[in-house]
Amino acid sequence: MTFESRLKAQALGLGFDLAGIATLGPAETHGAFADWIAAERQGEMDYLQRGLELRADTTRPEPGMVSALVVTLDYGGKQPDGPVARYARGDDYHRVMWDRLDELLGWVRHERGAHVKGRAYVDTGPILERDLARKAGLGWFGKNTMLIHPERGSFFFIGALFLDIALAPDAPFAQDHCGTCTRCLEACPTQAFVQPGVMDARRCISYLTIESRTPIPAEFHEDIGEHLYGCDICQDVCPWNVKFARPEGDAALAPRAPVAGKDAATLASELVQMTESSYRETFRHSAMKRAKLSGLQRNAEIVLAELGKSSN
Protein backbone atom coordinates (compact mmCIF):
# COMPACT_ATOMS: atom_id res chain seq x y z
CA MET A 1 0.00 0.00 0.00
CA THR A 2 1.12 3.55 -0.67
CA PHE A 3 1.58 5.96 2.20
CA GLU A 4 -1.50 7.84 0.99
CA SER A 5 -3.61 4.66 1.11
CA ARG A 6 -2.38 3.83 4.58
CA LEU A 7 -3.04 7.39 5.75
CA LYS A 8 -6.63 7.24 4.56
CA ALA A 9 -7.07 3.79 6.07
CA GLN A 10 -5.75 5.10 9.37
CA ALA A 11 -8.28 7.95 9.23
CA LEU A 12 -11.12 5.51 8.69
CA GLY A 13 -9.78 3.38 11.52
CA LEU A 14 -10.04 6.37 13.86
CA GLY A 15 -13.75 6.66 13.10
CA PHE A 16 -13.92 9.03 10.16
CA ASP A 17 -16.29 7.97 7.40
CA LEU A 18 -14.64 9.39 4.28
CA ALA A 19 -11.09 10.47 3.54
CA GLY A 20 -9.46 12.09 0.54
CA ILE A 21 -6.28 13.99 -0.23
CA ALA A 22 -5.94 17.39 -1.90
CA THR A 23 -2.98 19.55 -2.83
CA LEU A 24 -3.26 22.98 -1.23
CA GLY A 25 -3.53 26.06 -3.42
CA PRO A 26 -6.06 28.51 -4.89
CA ALA A 27 -9.67 27.92 -3.83
CA GLU A 28 -11.82 27.50 -6.92
CA THR A 29 -14.94 28.95 -5.32
CA HIS A 30 -13.31 32.02 -3.78
CA GLY A 31 -14.67 34.35 -6.46
CA ALA A 32 -18.22 33.24 -5.76
CA PHE A 33 -17.58 33.54 -2.03
CA ALA A 34 -16.24 37.10 -2.44
CA ASP A 35 -19.35 38.02 -4.46
CA TRP A 36 -21.52 36.54 -1.71
CA ILE A 37 -19.75 38.67 0.88
CA ALA A 38 -20.03 41.77 -1.32
CA ALA A 39 -23.79 41.21 -1.45
CA GLU A 40 -23.76 41.16 2.38
CA ARG A 41 -25.49 37.78 2.48
CA GLN A 42 -23.31 36.76 5.44
CA GLY A 43 -25.36 38.91 7.81
CA GLU A 44 -23.62 39.48 11.14
CA MET A 45 -20.87 36.93 10.48
CA ASP A 46 -18.14 39.58 10.22
CA TYR A 47 -15.38 37.02 10.68
CA LEU A 48 -16.06 35.81 7.13
CA GLN A 49 -15.20 39.24 5.77
CA ARG A 50 -12.06 39.49 7.90
CA GLY A 51 -10.73 36.19 6.57
CA LEU A 52 -11.65 36.86 2.95
CA GLU A 53 -8.13 37.07 1.52
CA LEU A 54 -6.82 34.13 3.53
CA ARG A 55 -9.62 31.98 2.12
CA ALA A 56 -8.46 32.66 -1.43
CA ASP A 57 -5.65 30.10 -1.15
CA THR A 58 -5.35 27.20 1.29
CA THR A 59 -1.58 27.71 1.57
CA ARG A 60 -2.12 31.07 3.30
CA PRO A 61 -3.66 30.23 6.70
CA GLU A 62 -0.66 28.14 7.78
CA PRO A 63 2.50 28.93 5.74
CA GLY A 64 4.51 25.88 4.77
CA MET A 65 1.59 23.51 4.43
CA VAL A 66 1.47 21.59 1.14
CA SER A 67 -1.21 18.89 1.32
CA ALA A 68 -4.42 18.18 3.19
CA LEU A 69 -6.10 14.98 4.25
CA VAL A 70 -9.81 15.88 4.19
CA VAL A 71 -12.17 13.76 6.27
CA THR A 72 -15.85 13.56 7.11
CA LEU A 73 -17.63 12.37 10.25
CA ASP A 74 -21.26 11.30 9.90
CA TYR A 75 -23.58 12.58 12.61
CA GLY A 76 -26.61 10.67 11.43
CA GLY A 77 -29.68 11.78 9.54
CA LYS A 78 -32.15 9.10 10.55
CA GLN A 79 -33.00 10.36 14.04
CA PRO A 80 -36.44 11.94 14.39
CA ASP A 81 -36.69 15.64 13.65
CA GLY A 82 -36.73 17.89 16.70
CA PRO A 83 -36.18 21.38 18.10
CA VAL A 84 -32.37 21.02 17.89
CA ALA A 85 -30.61 20.31 14.60
CA ARG A 86 -29.13 16.83 14.57
CA TYR A 87 -25.50 17.98 14.38
CA ALA A 88 -25.73 19.82 17.72
CA ARG A 89 -27.37 17.17 19.87
CA GLY A 90 -24.16 15.40 20.88
CA ASP A 91 -20.76 16.50 22.13
CA ASP A 92 -19.13 19.46 20.39
CA TYR A 93 -17.94 18.06 17.08
CA HIS A 94 -14.94 20.43 16.96
CA ARG A 95 -13.27 18.75 19.90
CA VAL A 96 -14.24 15.25 18.77
CA MET A 97 -12.67 15.76 15.35
CA TRP A 98 -9.63 17.77 16.54
CA ASP A 99 -8.65 15.00 18.91
CA ARG A 100 -8.82 12.38 16.16
CA LEU A 101 -6.96 14.55 13.66
CA ASP A 102 -4.25 15.23 16.23
CA GLU A 103 -3.96 11.49 16.79
CA LEU A 104 -3.66 11.06 13.05
CA LEU A 105 -0.87 13.65 12.96
CA GLY A 106 0.95 11.60 15.59
CA TRP A 107 0.71 8.57 13.30
CA VAL A 108 2.09 10.60 10.36
CA ARG A 109 5.07 11.69 12.47
CA HIS A 110 5.69 8.11 13.54
CA GLU A 111 5.72 7.05 9.90
CA ARG A 112 7.50 10.00 8.30
CA GLY A 113 9.49 11.57 11.11
CA ALA A 114 8.94 13.89 14.07
CA HIS A 115 9.92 16.86 11.90
CA VAL A 116 6.61 16.74 9.98
CA LYS A 117 4.48 19.80 10.67
CA GLY A 118 0.72 19.70 10.60
CA ARG A 119 -2.40 21.46 11.74
CA ALA A 120 -5.97 20.27 12.18
CA TYR A 121 -8.86 22.42 10.99
CA VAL A 122 -12.50 21.82 11.86
CA ASP A 123 -14.82 24.64 10.84
CA THR A 124 -12.78 27.32 12.63
CA GLY A 125 -10.01 28.47 10.27
CA PRO A 126 -10.20 30.80 7.24
CA ILE A 127 -10.71 27.91 4.83
CA LEU A 128 -13.42 27.11 2.30
CA GLU A 129 -13.86 23.55 3.56
CA ARG A 130 -16.41 22.44 0.97
CA ASP A 131 -14.07 23.61 -1.80
CA LEU A 132 -11.24 21.55 -0.34
CA ALA A 133 -13.47 18.52 0.20
CA ARG A 134 -14.69 18.55 -3.38
CA LYS A 135 -11.08 18.88 -4.51
CA ALA A 136 -10.30 15.77 -2.43
CA GLY A 137 -13.05 13.83 -4.19
CA LEU A 138 -15.59 13.73 -1.35
CA GLY A 139 -18.68 15.11 -3.08
CA TRP A 140 -20.39 17.87 -5.01
CA PHE A 141 -22.16 21.06 -3.94
CA GLY A 142 -25.91 20.59 -3.72
CA LYS A 143 -28.42 23.28 -4.58
CA ASN A 144 -28.86 23.74 -0.81
CA THR A 145 -25.09 24.59 -0.64
CA MET A 146 -24.28 21.38 1.27
CA LEU A 147 -21.53 18.99 0.20
CA ILE A 148 -23.24 15.77 -0.89
CA HIS A 149 -21.59 12.38 -1.24
CA PRO A 150 -23.26 9.88 -3.59
CA GLU A 151 -23.28 7.09 -1.00
CA ARG A 152 -23.62 9.02 2.28
CA GLY A 153 -25.76 12.08 1.59
CA SER A 154 -24.85 15.25 3.50
CA PHE A 155 -25.32 14.66 7.22
CA PHE A 156 -21.62 14.88 8.04
CA PHE A 157 -18.95 17.24 9.35
CA ILE A 158 -15.85 18.16 7.35
CA GLY A 159 -12.35 18.38 8.83
CA ALA A 160 -8.84 18.59 7.43
CA LEU A 161 -5.32 17.80 8.51
CA PHE A 162 -2.87 20.16 6.78
CA LEU A 163 0.64 18.74 6.32
CA ASP A 164 3.94 20.15 5.13
CA ILE A 165 4.69 17.07 3.03
CA ALA A 166 3.70 16.46 -0.59
CA LEU A 167 1.08 13.73 -1.04
CA ALA A 168 -0.44 12.31 -4.20
CA PRO A 169 -3.91 13.91 -4.45
CA ASP A 170 -7.17 12.17 -5.21
CA ALA A 171 -9.18 13.15 -8.27
CA PRO A 172 -11.57 16.04 -7.63
CA PHE A 173 -15.28 15.23 -7.63
CA ALA A 174 -16.36 16.47 -11.04
CA GLN A 175 -20.04 15.59 -11.46
CA ASP A 176 -23.16 17.31 -10.14
CA HIS A 177 -25.83 14.74 -9.31
CA CYS A 178 -28.67 17.08 -8.33
CA GLY A 179 -30.09 17.15 -11.85
CA THR A 180 -33.41 18.98 -12.10
CA CYS A 181 -34.36 18.33 -8.46
CA THR A 182 -35.32 21.46 -6.50
CA ARG A 183 -36.86 19.89 -3.39
CA CYS A 184 -34.47 21.64 -1.00
CA LEU A 185 -35.16 25.05 -2.52
CA GLU A 186 -38.91 24.57 -2.38
CA ALA A 187 -38.93 23.18 1.16
CA CYS A 188 -37.09 26.08 2.82
CA PRO A 189 -39.79 27.83 4.90
CA THR A 190 -38.04 31.22 4.81
CA GLN A 191 -37.02 31.04 1.13
CA ALA A 192 -33.39 31.51 2.04
CA PHE A 193 -32.04 30.42 -1.35
CA VAL A 194 -31.49 33.31 -3.75
CA GLN A 195 -30.86 30.78 -6.51
CA PRO A 196 -29.63 27.18 -6.65
CA GLY A 197 -26.39 27.00 -4.66
CA VAL A 198 -26.67 30.53 -3.23
CA MET A 199 -28.08 31.10 0.24
CA ASP A 200 -28.89 34.41 1.90
CA ALA A 201 -27.86 33.61 5.46
CA ARG A 202 -30.01 36.44 6.76
CA ARG A 203 -33.09 34.37 5.90
CA CYS A 204 -31.77 30.97 7.03
CA ILE A 205 -33.28 29.52 10.22
CA SER A 206 -29.89 28.08 11.23
CA TYR A 207 -28.27 31.49 10.94
CA LEU A 208 -31.13 33.28 12.69
CA THR A 209 -31.20 30.89 15.65
CA ILE A 210 -27.43 30.38 16.03
CA GLU A 211 -25.22 33.07 14.50
CA SER A 212 -27.40 36.16 14.79
CA ARG A 213 -27.00 38.12 18.03
CA THR A 214 -29.84 40.56 17.36
CA PRO A 215 -33.62 40.20 17.66
CA ILE A 216 -35.05 37.90 14.98
CA PRO A 217 -37.34 39.85 12.62
CA ALA A 218 -41.01 39.15 13.29
CA GLU A 219 -41.54 38.09 9.68
CA PHE A 220 -39.60 34.88 10.42
CA HIS A 221 -41.22 33.89 13.71
CA GLU A 222 -43.97 31.74 12.25
CA ASP A 223 -41.53 29.92 9.97
CA ILE A 224 -39.13 29.29 12.85
CA GLY A 225 -41.98 27.43 14.52
CA GLU A 226 -40.39 24.82 16.81
CA HIS A 227 -36.78 25.35 15.72
CA LEU A 228 -34.84 26.23 18.86
CA TYR A 229 -31.37 25.69 17.43
CA GLY A 230 -30.65 25.17 13.76
CA CYS A 231 -32.66 23.54 11.00
CA ASP A 232 -32.38 20.35 8.92
CA ILE A 233 -35.24 20.86 6.46
CA CYS A 234 -33.19 21.32 3.28
CA GLN A 235 -31.25 18.15 4.14
CA ASP A 236 -34.27 16.12 5.23
CA VAL A 237 -35.97 16.46 1.83
CA CYS A 238 -32.83 15.78 -0.25
CA PRO A 239 -33.29 12.46 -2.12
CA TRP A 240 -29.65 11.57 -1.43
CA ASN A 241 -30.35 11.76 2.30
CA VAL A 242 -33.72 10.04 2.02
CA LYS A 243 -31.88 7.11 0.43
CA PHE A 244 -28.45 7.16 2.08
CA ALA A 245 -28.63 9.00 5.42
CA ARG A 246 -27.56 6.71 8.25
CA PRO A 247 -28.49 6.29 11.90
CA GLU A 248 -26.30 8.17 14.35
CA GLY A 249 -23.46 5.78 15.04
CA ASP A 250 -20.59 7.59 16.76
CA ALA A 251 -21.03 7.43 20.53
CA ALA A 252 -19.49 10.90 20.97
CA LEU A 253 -22.27 12.38 18.86
CA ALA A 254 -25.17 10.64 20.59
CA PRO A 255 -27.82 13.09 21.86
CA ARG A 256 -26.90 14.53 25.25
CA ALA A 257 -29.29 14.33 28.20
CA PRO A 258 -30.22 18.06 28.16
CA VAL A 259 -31.82 17.71 24.69
CA ALA A 260 -32.37 13.97 24.10
CA GLY A 261 -35.99 13.15 23.38
CA LYS A 262 -37.34 16.53 24.48
CA ASP A 263 -40.03 18.28 22.49
CA ALA A 264 -39.86 21.98 21.69
CA ALA A 265 -42.21 23.07 24.47
CA THR A 266 -40.30 21.22 27.18
CA LEU A 267 -36.86 22.36 26.08
CA ALA A 268 -37.96 25.94 25.47
CA SER A 269 -39.55 26.14 28.92
CA GLU A 270 -36.33 24.91 30.51
CA LEU A 271 -34.22 27.39 28.57
CA VAL A 272 -36.19 30.50 29.54
CA GLN A 273 -35.69 29.62 33.21
CA MET A 274 -31.95 28.96 33.01
CA THR A 275 -29.42 31.06 34.83
CA GLU A 276 -25.99 31.77 33.37
CA SER A 277 -24.37 29.25 35.71
CA SER A 278 -26.88 26.47 34.99
CA TYR A 279 -26.51 27.18 31.26
CA ARG A 280 -22.72 26.79 31.44
CA GLU A 281 -23.07 23.51 33.31
CA THR A 282 -25.84 22.12 31.10
CA PHE A 283 -24.19 22.91 27.79
CA ARG A 284 -20.56 22.28 28.71
CA HIS A 285 -18.85 20.54 25.75
CA SER A 286 -21.90 21.21 23.55
CA ALA A 287 -21.96 23.00 20.18
CA MET A 288 -25.13 24.73 21.38
CA LYS A 289 -22.98 27.15 23.38
CA ARG A 290 -22.43 28.90 20.06
CA ALA A 291 -25.75 30.72 20.43
CA LYS A 292 -25.03 31.82 24.02
CA LEU A 293 -27.73 31.82 26.70
CA SER A 294 -29.21 35.10 25.43
CA GLY A 295 -29.65 33.63 21.95
CA LEU A 296 -31.17 30.39 23.21
CA GLN A 297 -33.62 32.26 25.42
CA ARG A 298 -34.53 34.59 22.54
CA ASN A 299 -35.26 31.53 20.41
CA ALA A 300 -37.18 29.83 23.22
CA GLU A 301 -39.46 32.81 23.67
CA ILE A 302 -40.29 32.79 19.96
CA VAL A 303 -40.97 29.04 19.99
CA LEU A 304 -43.22 29.27 23.03
CA ALA A 305 -45.13 32.18 21.52
CA GLU A 306 -45.67 30.27 18.25
CA LEU A 307 -46.72 27.12 20.10
CA GLY A 308 -49.17 29.24 22.06
CA LYS A 309 -50.72 30.53 18.83
CA SER A 310 -51.12 27.05 17.41
CA SER A 311 -52.86 25.82 20.55
CA ASN A 312 -55.47 28.60 20.49
Choose one of 100, 135, 163: the last residue of a domain.
Answer: 163
Give the pLDDT confidence score for residue 13 in this predicted structure: 97
- Positions in the chain short of pLDDT 70: 312
Whether residue 108 is found in the same domain as residue 195: no
Q: Collapse the DSSP code of 149 into the 3-class scheme (helix H, G, I; strand E, B; otherwise coil) and give the result.
A: strand
Supply the range of the domain harboring residue 282.
183-311
Burial 165-195 (b: 16+ CB within 10 A, else e): eebebbebbeeeebeebeebbeebbbebbee
Judge whether 304 lies within some domain. yes
Closest CA to 189 of 174, 211, 205, 175: 205
DSSP 47-115: HHHHTTTGGGBTTSSSTT--EEEEEEEE--S-SPP-SB-GGGSSB-HHHHHHHHHHHHHHHHHHHH-TT
Give the pLDDT confidence score for residue 248 in this predicted structure: 78
127-185 pLDDT per residue, tens? 999 999 999 999 999 999 999 999 999 999 999 999 999 999 999 999 999 999 999 99
Whether residue 113 is found in the same domain as residue 226: no
Number of domains in the chain: 2
Whether residue 93 is found in the same domain as residue 225: no
Whether residue 92 is found in the same domain as residue 219: no
Distance CA 262, CA 82 (A): 8
Distance CA 169, CA 264 (A): 45
Whether residue 41 is found in the same domain as residue 117: yes
Residues 6+ positions from 102 with CB-CB distance below 8 Å:
120
Task: Identify the active-site residue in 35, 123, 176, 232.
Answer: 123
Q: Is 99 a catalytic residue?
A: no
Helices (H) and strands (E) in the chain, counts: 13, 8
28-37 pLDDT per residue, tens? 999 999 999 9
What's the helix, strand, coil split of the chain in %, to 5?
A: 45, 15, 45
Whether residue 128 is found in the same domain as residue 57: yes
Give the pLDDT confidence score for residue 32 in this predicted structure: 97
Give the pLDDT confidence score for residue 157 in this predicted structure: 97
Residues 6+ positions from 207 with CB-CB distance below 8 Å:
43, 45, 201
Closest CA to 193 of 228, 246, 231: 231
Whether residue 200 is found in the same domain as residue 139: no
Whether residue 260 is found in the same domain as residue 206: yes
Compute the residue count for the chain: 312
Stated pTM of the model:
0.96
Whether residue 8 is found in the same domain as residue 124: yes
Give the pLDDT confidence score for residue 252 in this predicted structure: 87
Judge whether 288 lies within some domain. yes
Give the pLDDT confidence score for residue 312 in this predicted structure: 65
H helical segments located in 116-218: 129-135, 183-187, 205-206
Residues 6+ positions from 69 with CB-CB distance below 8 Å:
7, 8, 11, 19, 20, 21, 104, 136, 160, 161, 163, 167
Whether residue 202 is found in the same domain as residue 288: yes
Judge whether 174 lies within some domain. no
Whether residue 107 is found in the same domain as residue 251: no
Whether residue 84 is found in the same domain as residue 138: yes
